[in-house]
Structure 1
Amino acid sequence: MPNKETLEKYKPMVKFIYEITGPNCEVILHDINKPDSSIIALSGNLSGRCLGGPLTDMALKILKSKRYLTEDHVTNYKSITSDGRVCRSSTFFIKDSQSNLIGILCINILVSPLLDIRNKIDELIHLNELTKFIDLSNSPSTKQDETLGQNLEELMNSLIEEVLENYNTDINELSPRQKNKIISELNEKGVFLLKGGITEVAKRIGMSEPSVYRYLAKIKK
């Protein structure tokens, strides 16, 4: 069965799951063959995304790591919306008859209100000191697994910045070795799966596009 037909069969599941879980949920179906405009169905609107939106940072990492080869799904990981709300998220891998990944079905459930209640209870019974090491606050700075609601430009910029912030030097002072390491790290994050990824990276680290292509060719051998 062609991939498109397979994914079409999952579209009714999107609304079905949403109606079961309720308004504090978002269900999204992605066609991974179109990373820049992967969203083909959605119900709910926690992250402000719409049809034709891109994959998330975590989804890109999954594609690069090929985690789907050994797992059928990833459940109950933390994600944060663009306005700082915490969600509990899960991803189901949709594969063809040869076990090639063709799509992902993602479910995001808002848990910020519940975390607020838990924190209030902790304050009342004075357990903050005992529980703070597992606290999931609403702060956007809290460590997270996935960022929800980014458009293509925001997604690419955040992935690049995440790597560049580890290099405390001016772009013009980056050594060839540092530039190659940056390209390797960005490749692992799936940046080059996105349209315009090579052009943007070349611009940001002061390299020519052919140089980026050549290095990518080396590490993919």
Structure 2
Amino acid sequence: MTVEDHPDEGPRRAERDAILRALGPVVNGIAATFGPVCEVVLHDYRRPAASVVAVAGEVTGRTVGGAMSEIGMRVLARGDDADHELNYVTRTGTGRTLKSSTMVLRDSAGTVFGALCVNVDVTEVGRVQGLLAALAGAGGPSPDTPVTTFGDDIDSVVDSLLDAHLPHDRSWAGLERPRRLALFRALDERGVFAVRRAIEQVAARLGISRASAYSYLSQARTAAEPGPHPTSEGAHP
């Protein structure tokens, strides 16, 4: 689902705007408390391609007007069923290890419309822990940490999700129909098609027509279990 405002939602729009304004000092306060290893980002999901409305700190290089990450897309895909994701570990494309929390924002009607995200760079902490473990004779390979694409360009985030779900040993032409549908279903479940023009971007990457992409998306949704799906202007012809 999307949280784009409709003409008759003036009071709710004003309420959401007021909540975001009130959180501005919170963004700066949290970042100042934890220092240079901390970044706090405030998102307005009504505009996924430019969701960052406030940021303090420089852990992921986010700037105001930047796009949501794939974590934000996942929240967007869950709609009003989304819940806070607290104290999870992820890794940036440059290899920095982050401990993060994403706290969803709701209006008085319970509609999810944004998120407050805290990212703490714990890369050096991990290195010290590894050194201490090695000295204690308890060293060993650490489990893989998922890589998250952070950037101000929504296209790079969509590309990253597509790369993550397209089998590395197969091209689109080499995928059987069930796997093609599974690819579109996975992208849909992660909120990709809630982003305007994402369907055109995916079609171009796969080398298929826009009409074919819409068809696969429709079939994937039909084959899935009944339930709400993320929608957007970009997910309808």
Q: Same fold judged by TM-score > 0.5? A: yes
| Residue identity in the other structure for 1:62 | V
Corresponding residue of 2:214: 213
Q: Structure 2 residue aligned with 1:58, among 45, 59, 71?
A: 71
SS in 1 for 2:88: strand
Residue 98 of structure 2 is aligned to residue 96 of structure 1: no
Please tell me whether residue 121 in structure 1 is matched to residue 142 in structure 2. no
Q: TM-score with structure 2 length normalisation?
A: 0.80
**What are the superposed Cα offsets for residues 132-155 of structure 1, whole Å, 9 maximum, x if unpaired?**
4xx36xxxxx33264334632221
CA contact (8 A) 1:89 1:107 kept: yes
- CA shift, 1:102, in A, is 1.1
Which residue identity does 1:189 align to in structure 2? R
- In structure 2, relative to structure 1, the CA distance for the partners of 1:149 and 1:80 (3 Å cut) is farther
Q: Aligned in 2, Cα 1:197/1:70: closer, same or farther, shift over 3 Å?
A: closer
Query: CA 1:124 to 1:11, structure 2 compared with 1: closer, same or farther past 3 Å?
Result: same
Provide the residue aligned with 2:47 in structure 1: 34
* Aligned partners of 1:25 and 1:108 also within 8 Å: yes
Looking at structure 1, the residues matched to 158 and 115 of structure 2 have their Cα atoms a distance apart, in angstroms, of 20
For residues 30 and 191 of structure 1, the distance between their equivalents in structure 2, rounded to whole angstroms, comes to 17
Asked if structure 2 preserves the Cα contact closer than 8 Å seen for 1:27 and 1:107, the reply is yes
CA contact (8 A) 1:36 1:194 kept: yes
Equivalences for residues 195-210 of structure 1 within 5 A: 195-210=196-211
Quick check: 1:47–1:81 contact (8 Å CA) kept in 2? yes
In structure 2, the gaps of 5 or more residues are 1-11, 227-237
1:179–1:205 CA contact under 8 A, matched in 2: no
Which residue matches 1:189? 190
CA contact (8 A) 2:38 2:121 kept: yes
Of 32-41 and 174-183, more deviation after overlay is shown by: 174-183
| 1:144 aligned onto 2:146 | yes
Percent of aligned pairs sharing the same letter: 28
Gaps of 5+ in 1: 137-141
Question: Partner amino acid for 2:217?
Answer: L
RMSD across aligned C-alpha pairs, in angstroms? 2.1
SS at match of 1:89: strand
- Residues in 1 aligned to 2:196 and 2:82: alpha-carbon distance in whole angstroms: 28
| Shift, 1:204, TM fit | 2.5
Letter in 1 for 2:100: S
Q: Rate the CA distance shift 1:5–1:217 in 2: closer, same or farther, 3 A.
A: farther
Bigger shift: 91-100 or 175-184? Answer: 175-184
Name the count of aligned residue pairs: 209
Tell me the residue number matched to 2:234.
Answer: none
TM-score, with length taken from structure 1: 0.85
Which residue in the other structure is 2:231 paired with?
none
Task: Give the SS at the match of 2:36.
Answer: coil
Amino acid at match of 1:177: P
Residue 5 (1) aligns with residue 6 (2): no
Q: Take 1:35 and 1:54, find their aligned partners in 2: how far apart are those partners?
A: 6
Aligned pair in 2 of structure 1 residues 170, 69: CA closer, same or farther (>3 Å)? closer
Q: CA deviation at 1:162?
A: 0.8
Amino acid at match of 1:182: L
Relative to structure 1, the CA distance from residue 120 to residue 112 in structure 2 (aligned partners, 3 Å threshold; closer, same or farther) is same
The answer to whether the 8 A contact 1:30-1:104 is kept is yes
